[in-house]
Amino acid sequence: MDYPNDQAPGAPVRSGIPEHGRIPKYYAVKARIDRLVGELGEGGTIPTERDLSEQYGVARETVRQALRELVLEGKLRRQGRGTVVAGPKLAQPLSLASYTEGVRRQGRTPGRSLVTLDRFPCPAALAAETGLERGEPVWHLERVLLADEERVGLESTYVAVARLPHLDSEFEPDSSFYAYLHERGIGFGDADERIETVLATPREALLVGTPPALPMLLIHRISRDTEGRPLERVRSLYRGDRFSFTTHLRG
């Protein structure tokens, strides 16, 4: 198999061209716009669909499909009635570090906006997952995740009221929940995580400010303290066009 001399590590093999060599027309246009993205750099304005269709000699619907995929991949973003080059994705580590730490490492300003903080009796499903007692009071903390004031995700945290009885009066909703726990002498021991790809519900899409059809990365986490007791159950929804996740593996 022939590889181009400039084949980038991690790029699709042979630029994604099938072995039979027949390339969908939209994909050829997408590849050309993708090169334009690299030339323009972050914030650069992409020509209009009409201009691109004339330049490449294809139908506007072909250009529209190419742009749509590049937007879904996070390489482009809509701005007003135009399209511009998006910035790099946030690379969040898969670790017990907080969202705040991960965003700050990349020179971005983390933030959170409170959606709700309420308490209710622990339902059977949550009790089975965490080891909490069914019916015991639990807090539900839901916040929109921000990076440089851009909405990038939605986080729901469930924790026993007995562990944090004054969460509603002591905790600043726009601050790090993990820092709040640390200040109270509560340390993390271990956690189980599961990642899947989902589409946001209409409510979630509205809160995060994305189209319902945009793929999202969903992380489920169940954490325990240093003594092995259940600590939190977290459901974190991240924009698939703005996030990637990293981890370090050792043999």
Mean pLDDT across 148-165: 92
pLDDT at 10: 58
- Span 166-204, pLDDT tens digits: 999 999 999 889 889 999 999 888 888 888 888 788 788
Instruction: Give the integer Cα–Cα distance in Å for 218 and 145.
Output: 13
Task: Please name the helix (run of DSSP H) or strand (run of DSSP E) that holds residue 67, with its range, or none.
Answer: helix 60-72
Q: Closest Cα partner for 159 from 230, 234, 232? A: 232
Higher pLDDT, 96 or 30: 30
Q: What is the mean pLDDT of the chain?
A: 84
- Is residue 149 scored above 60 in pLDDT? yes
- Span 71-96, pLDDT tens digits: 877 788 888 888 998 877 666 666 65
- Is residue 101 scored above 50 in pLDDT? yes
Tokens of 192: 């189980």
Q: How many CB atoms lie within 10 A of CB 218?
A: 19
pLDDT at 15: 60
pTM of structure: 0.69
Q: How many CB atoms lie within 10 A of CB 165?
A: 12
Higher pLDDT, 95 or 153: 153
